[in-house]
Amino acid sequence: MDSPDRYIGKAFRDVLLLGAVLALINYLAALSDFGWLRLNPSPWLLLPALIGVRYGVIAGVLAGLVGGVGIASVNAGMSSLNTHQYVQQHSYFFALLILAGYLAGECQRFLWKDNLNLRTLTDRQADENARLRAELDIARETRQQLQQHLALNHAEMTGLDEDLRKVIGGSGEGLFERFLAAAQQHTQVVSAAFYRRQAGALQQVAVLHATKRLPARLSLAEAPMARRALEERMLVSVASAVECSSTQPYLAALPFEDSMGEGVLLIQDMPLRTFNWAYLARVELMLQWVLALKQHRDALAGEGPQLATIMAFRLAVKSALVAEQVHHVPSVVVRADFQDAQVALGSKLRLGLLKLLPSTAVAAQLTDGGSLLVLLPFGGEMEATALIREWQSTGMQLRASHYLVAGTSELDEFWQHVAQA
């Protein structure tokens, strides 16, 4: 910013320069009317107006005074009047010179105030943008670190509970298609198909990236791996991907059975880095849970939410323990105890609480006290806390707790810990 002395010097320089230009033009164009008093408005009004807009009220008024004194002095020398008399004779014109400087200076003051506000706002926004950029850089760095940590801690199964919820929550017709999409995300399966056994052959019901090796209908003679998987009721796989051939193009076959009969999942292609028993076991784990949850949902289909038996619930908890111990994917059990046992055993519980459960949840009720147990497969403390919060929002008087299905505990040990809490 300019110093006051330099600011005054620039203003004085511009007054002299602009006044000299106007005087020269006036001399060349109309010497007999110096000051252009016969013109309305006079071009000499530009002197205080421009100076006032540029430097403010004081500079504009002084420019008007300097211009007026100069015009009056020149015209007084060219006539029989003195300067004072000439100013009195044309007082309206000289007053306009000063007034033009004042008004222009006031306009400059308002513009300067708006400009100052805009500059302040711009500086504030620039600081805010710098802060946001810094936070964005920190967030990106944190995200990168998080991805690195997840990569070292079985990140392939992250979000499996949500994906299973999408698989189970849709219509029954697209179940296998949704499963293949989830398997592709979590196990990198490239090409696979579900087949049902029908009259000694395999009929395709769903496919992921269809190839000529995965036709719509396949005889058991053409797929010895599928036949072996169905006969032995276990996962069958080649030891190495190089063992695949034109007569045996499949990497693995996983048998399954549901209410509509038995079938097999044929995996035809997946990346070499993921073709190992760990990833195949994850596919098997996902398929087992999807079919078990589907069977549970179909068995309890009826009017309103339903409860599983204690035996079925214990089997689901056992599967969750195995999944955590083998694949390091924990689940969580939520328990709700009610102050009023009669309310707990009534329909209000079923309609008020069970309808809030996700489609993948398995629920049961303890016979003594009516406490409600809910298993959230592949869920954790976050999912349990969210469910408890939804329960409490209904206004029902209950005390809720959750237990992580993890560690090396056996089923009886874990059940005792949960059921007798």
The total number of residues written for the chain in this structure = 421
Helices then strands (H, E): number in the chain? 14, 10
pLDDT at 297: 67
Query: Whose structure tokens read 């000499």?
Result: 44
pLDDT at 195: 92
147 inside domain: no
Of 179, 186, 366, the closest CA to residue 289 belongs to 179
Sheet holding 331-338, edge to edge: 362-365, 372-376, 331-338, 398-405
155 inside domain: no
Instruction: Compute the distance between CA of residue 160 and CA of residue 362 in angstroms, rounded to an integer.
Output: 16
397 inside domain: yes
Last residue of a domain, one of 262, 287, 312: 287
Q: Are residues 217 and 318 in the same domain?
A: no
What CATH number is associated with residue 183? 3.30.450.40
pLDDT tens, position by position, 376-404: 887 777 888 888 888 878 777 778 888 88
327 inside domain: yes
What CATH number is associated with residue 392? 3.30.70.2880
Q: Are residues 219 and 262 in the same domain?
A: yes
Q: Are residues 253 and 361 in the same domain?
A: no
Sheet holding 236-237, edge to edge: 217-219, 201-208, 191-198, 261-269, 252-258, 236-237
Please report how many Cα atoms fall inside a 13 Å half-sphere around the Cα of residue 300, on the Cβ side: 22
Instruction: Compute the distance between CA of residue 384 and CA of residue 402 in angstroms, rounded to an integer.
Output: 6
Last residue of a domain, one of 287, 316, 345: 287
141 inside domain: no
pLDDT tens, position by position, 321-337: 887 777 677 788 888 88
Residues with Cβ within 8 Å of 236's Cβ and at least 6 positions away in sequence, in order, are: 225, 228, 229, 252, 253
210 inside domain: yes
Last residue of a domain, one of 252, 287, 322: 287
The region of weakest confidence among 99-113, 293-307, 358-372 is 293-307
Query: Whose structure tokens read 């179940």?
Result: 175
Percent of the chain with pLDDT over 90: 2
Percent of the chain with pLDDT over 70: 82
Q: Are residues 324 and 274 in the same domain?
A: no
Q: Which two tokens stand for residue 411?
A: 């089923």
Tell me whether residue 69 is exposed, middle or buried, using C-beta atoms within 10 angstroms of its C-beta: 0 to 12, 13 to 18, 19 or more: middle
Instruction: Compute the distance between CA of residue 304 and CA of residue 67 in angstroms, rounded to an integer.
Output: 94
Q: Per-residue b/e over 16-28, b at no fewer than 16 CB within 10 Å?
A: eebbeebbeebee
Of 206, 211, 314, the closest CA to residue 265 belongs to 206
Instruction: Compute the distance between CA of residue 282 and CA of residue 405 in angstroms, rounded to an integer.
Output: 18
- 64 touches 97 (CB < 8 A): yes
- 331 touches 405 (CB < 8 A): yes
Residue 266 has pLDDT above 70, yes or no: yes
Q: Are residues 319 and 390 in the same domain?
A: yes
Residue 91 has pLDDT above 80, yes or no: no
Q: Are residues 306 and 378 in the same domain?
A: yes
Instruction: Compute the distance between CA of residue 346 and CA of residue 80 in angstroms, rounded to an integer.
Output: 117
Q: Are residues 170 and 246 in the same domain?
A: yes
Q: For all residues of the chain together, what is the average pLDDT?
A: 77
Q: Which residue has the higher pLDDT, 244 or 302?
A: 244
Q: Are residues 344 and 394 in the same domain?
A: yes
In total, how many domains does the chain have?
Answer: 3
pLDDT at 421: 63
Residue range(s) defining the domain that contains residue 41: 4-120
- 372 touches 344 (CB < 8 A): yes
Residue 150 has pLDDT above 60, yes or no: no
pLDDT at 277: 79
Q: Are residues 113 and 177 in the same domain?
A: no
Residue 344 has pLDDT above 70, yes or no: no
29 inside domain: yes
Q: Are residues 252 and 315 in the same domain?
A: no
Dihedral, CA of residue 217, residue 219, residue 225 and residue 229, to nearest 10: 90
Q: Are residues 180 and 271 in the same domain?
A: yes
324 inside domain: yes
pLDDT band at 151 (very low <50, low <70, confident <90, very high): very low
Instruction: Compute the distance between CA of residue 168 and CA of residue 62 in angstroms, rounded to an integer.
Output: 85
Q: Are residues 396 and 277 in the same domain?
A: no
- 43 touches 28 (CB < 8 A): no
